[in-house]
Amino acid sequence: MSHANGQVRLADGKLFWYEYNGTADIQMPWLYDDHDELHANWRRDDHFPRCKCPASTLQLAMISSDYGGGSHWPGLVCLNCKLIVSGLMCDDVWLFDQEGWPKWTPENDPFGDAHE
C-alpha cells in the first residue's frame, strides 16, 4: 500500500526521517538520522514502542510528510528513544495541519522547490 517519506525538524534545525503509512494515515514512530537509514528499515513491522522517558525530556518538533502533496504539523519527539511521541495521527493535530511543503524540507522535494 502507499507509504511515503517524512521529516521531523527540531528547534535547532536538526532533521530526522520517518515513514508515513498512507493506508492508515499514521506516522510510524521511529526516527532515523538520514534517508538511507530510513529505507534500510522501510516497512518495519514490529510493534509500536512506547516512550517511558519523563515529559521534561521531550522536544517540540515540526513534522512533515510528502504524502498527498505534502503537509506539516507540530508534535513531540524523544531523542533518547528516537521516537515521535505526539503528532502521530493527523486527526490528533488537524487544527494545526498545514498543506504544502514547509521551507525547511530537504532538497529532495519532488516539486523541486520547498515552499509553504
Helices (H) and strands (E) in the chain, counts: 1, 7
Lowest mean pLDDT among 1-10, 65-74, 95-104, 107-116: 107-116
Residues 24-39: what's their mean pLDDT? 87
Residue 103: what pLDDT? 59
Residue of 10, 3, 50 whose CA lies nearest to 33: 10
Closest CA to 67 of 26, 112, 38, 113: 26
Mean pLDDT of 63-81: 84
List, in sequence order, every residue forming a beta bridge with 21; answer none if it has no partner: 3, 26
Sorting pLDDT into bands at 50, 70 and 90, what band is 15?
A: very high
Furthest-apart CA atoms within the chain: distance in Å? 40
pTM of this structure: 0.74
Q: CA-CA distance, 18 to 6, in Å (whole number)?
A: 5
pLDDT at 75: 87
Model confidence at 99, pLDDT cuts 50, 70, 90, reads low
Which is more confidently placed, 3 or 57?
57
Residue 91: the pLDDT is 52
Compute the average pLDDT of residues 98-114.
Answer: 49
